[in-house]
Amino acid sequence: MPFIDFDLSKIKRSGPGFAGDSDIGDRGKNPDELDPRKEANLLGARTDYSNQSGLNKGARGQGNAQLNTRAAIANQSLSCGTDRRSNYSQVQVTETPGGHIIEYNDTPGSERILLRHKSGSGIEMRPDGSILISATDIVYDIKGDMSTVVTGNQNTQVDGAITTNAGGDINNRSGGSYVTASGGTLVETSDGSKYSTIAGSVRSRVTGDTSMVNLGPVSHLSLGGLTESVKGDRVTRIEGSESLYVSNAISQTSAERFMASAPIVSITGPQLEVVGNTGTIGGENVISYSYNSYVGKTLQSETVSTNVVYGDLEGNAATATQAGTSLHQSYPDGDAAPSTYTPSVGDDPEYPVDNTPIDTKSTALPSAAVIAARQKTATNGIREVQVDPGDYIRSSLDKSVAYGYEEGAS
């Protein structure tokens, strides 16, 4: 294409102060001069003005130019909201042959200022004072601070990803609800600590698995009780010690089996109840102390040491071997002086006598005083449990709690 020296002064303009019906250029001086519209076509301008007046269509009231709004936010229109015709005497439109438009419109109901690139990008100041910016890409390069104030609602829709990089802190504050919804995975990564302060309730619902890995100690403080409900199995593994201190009662039940196993098991209490229909109590080297023992069948022991025995005895005492037989007595009758009479004596059946020594090995009688002293030791003692006595921790966290000040009090 040959080079053409294009003069913008030959473009016909419209609006106040311009003769809308005058010809473009000065053809009287050069009859062979090209019509600027044809000249614009040679430069690759739009051809929608072919065989028409060179006066801009917007100035002629044949429709307002609009910005391209390819993106959309649900339930929110990005169009100008009006397609009213412009009044020729109240609009100034400048449109280059390439399609760039600058429009100043004072037509009632269609007041606007438009700066439009030929691609459809641009800025539009609408009749209601709102501003529409349309662009293929936008880059902000701000050397100082940037502040944004929105007195109404703000809606942002991004069809792709959002990346925010801050060299300093990020502060988000909400006067109402703060809702975060993710259609994929929600990931939080912090190189430092995390602090959460919540004045109300916390509810979490997870439809999948929950896993937490902690490399340091875990501390949990509840000042209003703790309830756990598990449908399924619960397994706790502790590579160390576990301490459970309760100020009131402990209740544990099992519908199948309750098992406690350890090298040393200590149970101490002023009142103890161990009841079962069948089973075993004790061991080969267990020493038992009790007040009364009731045995329904057989009591088996190497020796029995007691003061009084009531009931039948099978066998004879060592000093009554003969008296316990069918033999006659081996001593004279009556209390007369000894005579030369020798009573007849039967045969001695020689009942055996077991001289097994009594084993007196013992521990300590668990009397009421011994049990009371045992429950005061560090190993087997009862711990006094108090969490936040006086509600000082609660008062420091919950400022809505009254501190007891009464108006007028000195």
For residue range 330-379, list pLDDT tens digits in order: 455 555 555 555 555 545 555 566 778 888 898 888 899 988 888 888 88
| 372-386 tens-digit pLDDT | 888 888 888 888 888
Check: CB of residue 14 under 8 Å from CB of residue 92: yes
CA atoms within 13 A on the CB side of 242: 5
User: Rg of the chain's alpha carbons, rounded to an integer?
Assistant: 53
Averaged pLDDT, 63-71: 70
* Residue located via tokens 């009859």: 31
User: Would you say residue 123 has pLDDT above 90?
Assistant: yes
Of 48, 80, 61, 63, whose CA–CA distance to 15 is shortest?
61
Pull the structure tokens for residue 46: 């739009």
| 388-407 tens-digit pLDDT | 888 888 788 776 766 555 55
- The chain-wide mean pLDDT, for the chain, equals 76
Q: How far is CA 2 from CA 5, 6, 39, 258, in A?
A: 10, 12, 12, 101
Determine the pLDDT at residue 114. 92
Check: CB of residue 105 under 8 Å from CB of residue 86: yes
Share of the chain above pLDDT 70, in %: 67
Averaged pLDDT, 281-310: 89
| pLDDT-derived band at 70, boundaries 50, 70, 90 | low
